[in-house]
Amino acid sequence: MKGITKKYCVIGLIVILTLSMMAGCSGKDNNPEPATSAPALGGNNASGQGDEGNSAVRPKISWAGMTDNYPLEDESYAASYLEENFNVDIEIVRVDDPQQLNLLLSTNDVPDIFASSGTDIRKYAENGIISEIPMELIKTHMPNYYKLVMEFDDKVFSYASVDGKVFALPLLESTVSPVPVAIRGDWLKNVGADIPVTLQELEDVFVKFRNEDPDRNGKKDTYGLTMASDSVSYWFQTIFGAFGTHPFLWLKSGERELAYGFTLPETKDALKLLHKWYGMDLIDPEFVTDKRRTNGQDDVSYKFASGRVGYIDTLTYDDHQWDNDGQLNAKWVANAPEWQQFFNDADNTYVTTAFTEIPESGPQPVYVNIKPPVGPEGKSSSFSPSKLRGHYIMLGKGALESEEKLIRILQIFEADVSDEETYVNLEIGPEGVVWEWNDQNQRVYKKEWMDSDKYHPQGRILGTGIFFDLFFQMNPEFNTVFGGPRAEQRYKKTQELISTTLPGLSNQLLAPIESAAKYNAELQNMLMEYIIKAIMGEVDIDATYDATVQKWLDNGGREMTDEANAWYKTTQ
């Protein structure tokens, strides 16, 4: 096994401009059925090639994986595991960022395996950088992978195709689900309010939160809600969701078309309500600077936990998990002495189930997870990130130097996504070094692991993690194979209870569109500015909204809409 590190000077950019390659590698309920059949290779059965191919052939595979998470040493545990179990030689290609990957690709020294954005598939294919991956070989040598992605979307391979040929492997994220919603249970009790169900009931509660001293400190210093100003996906997302819209998502408009959420009339209605609430002093005036998640006191979770706002819809279920660790829960406990005392007992760390009503006993106060509010037309939703990841696995042309080599690569991938032993060794590491079995027959970290000279927070000494585990969290069956009580609490006592059952609203444009690279950033900034001004009353919504939609269309939005719908028609 050999490692290579590529460093290129600025002169290499000339080649990039020639090829017009500027790539990115981006990045959490239709759960697929868990894969059950064993892969042809992997785990204890990974030493041969099954019924096809010559197991004596030992192909050399250059592996770039996910950028910047490469092993620090060539002789890493994970690379050796693949070599020994799949009869291959691994050459580690170290790439620090997408720009360096482009420089590497421009030299024609293309790794056999690398990941990049879906927007790059066509140009890489047309420039001969990546190889076609025959669908029949995917079906034959990656049957469990094929089943998972097809149950998510039977047209998923079209998003990775050029002229009807597959050039990349889509990746899914099984752990994503609609964003939970929470409200302060102690505030509800103090103002004598029930858990709100409708948008009007939520407004009534917010009025009480603002005016009836819900924290009982004798000051008028509380608000209903704020937003995550640094992440547009979460901008008052359940309030927009009560109108069936989201200003920054592509959504279905009628039976056969997509429309950008801002352009829908329901968005105007939601903006008018938010402006009304701002005028009623229900929205924290610092909403324009509050962050989604930080380590300090400037994010939504701190404001919620410390008692400035009483409603939160900006964090995922693992942040709501009652373990004194997640983003929200850790800040909540830091502001709640009874919970601090509770968690002083280590046995209590993972025993608490999420609250869907105010408990009569136990540590106080609690936040209660509720459904997103139901709007005037009966609509209700919370933002749900797409299960389809933004980056794809691609194979350089060297991967097809022989069918034997391509098959071996596909069999490695299949083992990663469907063989538990392979997954654990690539993602976590070896038993007895990194992890052990606890009394409940669950895999957990060894107590001394973090003091080991092999420990690295990203696994870069052993080579574990997403560099080789390209299919991380794709198979839902594997979400609880490691982590013991923590994983059980996260996925059983939290996600299933407060997240997967929520009505979700997701981006309906699942394929990359080329025009977005030209227009989206500037147009998004324009809409962000307008939304803030509209809420604060700096523009008259009735007088300016239609003109703003038209400006969006005239400055690239119409081209993006046409391209989005051209793709959408292919899915009908």
Superfamily for domain range 2-175+387-479: Periplasmic binding protein-like II (3.40.190.10)
- What span, in angstroms and rounded, lies between the C-alpha atoms of 408 and 85? 11
| Mean pLDDT value across residues 165-186 | 96
How many Cα atoms occupy the beta-carbon half-sphere of 518 within 13 Å?
10
Residue 47 burial by Cβ neighbours in a 10 Å radius (0-12, 13-18, 19+): exposed
Angstrom CA distances, 123 to 160, 503, 521, stand at 12, 37, 21
pLDDT at 318: 94
Q: What is the pLDDT of residues 407-440, one digit of tens each?
A: 999 999 999 999 999 999 999 999 999 999 999 9
Residue 527 Cα to chain centre, angstroms = 23
pTM summary value: 0.84
Q: What is the pLDDT of residues 318-366, one digit of tens each?
A: 999 999 999 999 999 999 999 999 999 999 999 999 999 999 999 999 9
pLDDT at 517: 86
Q: CATH for 181-248+261-383, among 3.40.190.10, 3.40.50.300, 3.40.640.10, 3.60.15.10?
A: 3.40.190.10
pLDDT at 55: 64
Residues 6+ apart with CB under 8 A from 8: 100, 103, 104, 107
Domains 2-175+387-479 and 181-248+261-383 share a fold: yes
Q: What is the pLDDT of residues 47-70, one digit of tens each?
A: 334 444 456 789 999 999 987 789
| Mean pLDDT value across residues 435-455 | 96
Strands (E), 241-291: 250-252, 258-260
Please report, for the chain, the start and end positions of each structural domain, with discontinuous segments joined by +: 2-175+387-479, 181-248+261-383
Tokens 């004598």 belong to: 192
- What span, in angstroms and rounded, lies between the C-alpha atoms of 169 and 160? 7
Residue 238 burial (CB count, 10 A): 29
- What span, in angstroms and rounded, lies between the C-alpha atoms of 314 and 290? 11
Q: Lowest mean pLDDT: which of 83-92, 177-186, 267-276, 510-519?
A: 510-519
DSSP state of 371: P
Q: What is the pLDDT of residues 457-494, one digit of tens each?
A: 999 999 999 999 999 999 999 999 999 999 999 998 99
Angstrom CA distances, 494 to 71, 244, 350, stand at 33, 25, 11
State the alpha helices, DSSP H only, in 313-470: 317-320, 327-334, 337-343, 403-418, 420-427
Give the CA diameter of the chain.
79
Which of 446, 544, 530 is CA-nearest to residue 247?
Answer: 530
pLDDT at 187: 98
Percentage of the chain exceeding pLDDT 90: 82
- Cα radius of gyration rounded to whole Å, the chain: 25
Whether the Cβ atoms of residue 16 and residue 395 lie closer than 8 Å to each other:
no
- pLDDT confidence band for 24 (50 / 70 / 90): very low
Q: What is the pLDDT of residues 63-121, one digit of tens each?
A: 999 877 899 998 899 999 999 999 999 999 999 988 899 889 988 889 999 999 988 99
